[in-house]
């Protein structure tokens, strides 16, 4: 059987101190959390390389070898001017070049099936027109309906393509990658230092 003992002054004061410390800790935590969202003086901080940008320059560059052209009704991937490119061949043998990232989640378009003038996203089922890159059918599969309902339909870029000798060439902006990287962040992960040869 428990026996009730009267509280002594000593235990009352230690109980009061404990409660006071707990309240103080809660208040300090709330104040620290609120200060994270409080407006502060804006300090200019930039991790951009601040490299000079170049004007766009369209040029045919090699993407894949003609030996690597896929069979009609399929596609493969390549790189031209630093851009990921999907090279698709329709049932008649015509060759098309498109951006190799399927919206909305950027899986490779080059894994898609080519038929009826379109190429289908291998995961979500979106069909893109081979000539224009426009959306023909947006995310019709089960998973596609779930994910595609969150995003607006977006097409993929298309590029002029030509075969020259043993190479399939694609016309791209050869300055695109350098211009993108001019604004790209750099810092602790950039073990090579700045673009001007100096280190941080």
* pLDDT tens track for 40-91: 555 445 544 555 777 888 999 999 999 999 999 999 999 998 889 999 999 9
Nearest CA among 84, 137, 82 for reference residue 106: 84
110-132 confidence digits (pLDDT tens):
999 999 999 999 888 999 999 99
Task: Write out the DSSP string of 185-200.
Answer: B-STT-TT--TTS---
Pairwise pLDDT comparison (145 vs 167), residue with the higher score: 167
**Predicted local confidence at residue 188, as pLDDT:** 47
> Average pLDDT in the 24-51 region?
57
User: Which pLDDT value is given to residue 178?
Assistant: 75
The pLDDT of residue 154 is: 92
pTM of the predicted model as reported, rounded to 2 decimal places: 0.65
Percent pLDDT > 90 in the chain is 44
Give percent above pLDDT 70 in the chain.
Answer: 65
The listed range with the strongest mean pLDDT (4-8, 140-144, 169-173) is: 169-173
pLDDT at 148: 79
What phi-psi label fits residue 113: left (phi over 0), alpha (psi between -120 and 50 degrees) or beta?
beta
145-169: average pLDDT: 91
C-alpha span between 115 and 118 (Å, rounded): 6
Per the structure block, which two tokens stand in for 106?
């950027």
């Amino acid at each position: 059987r428990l026996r009730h003992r009267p509280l002594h002054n000593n235990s009352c004061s230690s109980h009061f101190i404990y409660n006071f410390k707990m309240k103080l800790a809660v208040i300090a935590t709330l104040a620290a959390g609120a200060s994270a969202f409080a407006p502060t003086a804006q300090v200019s901080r930039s991790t951009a390389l601040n490299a000079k940008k170049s004007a766009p320059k369209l040029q045919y560059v090699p993407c894949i070898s003609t030996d690597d052209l896929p069979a009609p009704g399929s596609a493969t991937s390549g790189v031209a001017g630093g851009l990921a490119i999907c090279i698709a061949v329709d049932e008649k043998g015509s060759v098309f070049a498109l951006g190799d990232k399927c919206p909305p989640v950027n899986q490779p378009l080059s894994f898609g099936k080519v038929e009826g003038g379109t190429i289908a996203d291998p995961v979500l089922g979106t069909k893109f027109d081979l000539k224009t890159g426009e959306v023909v059918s947006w995310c019709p599969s089960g998973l596609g309906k779930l994910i595609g309902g969150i995003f607006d339909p977006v097409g993929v870029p298309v590029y002029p393509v030509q075969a020259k000798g043993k190479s399939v060439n694609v016309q791209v902006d050869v300055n695109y990658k350098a211009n993108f990287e001019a604004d790209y962040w750099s810092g602790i992960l950039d073990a090579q230092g700045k673009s001007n040869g100096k280190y941080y």
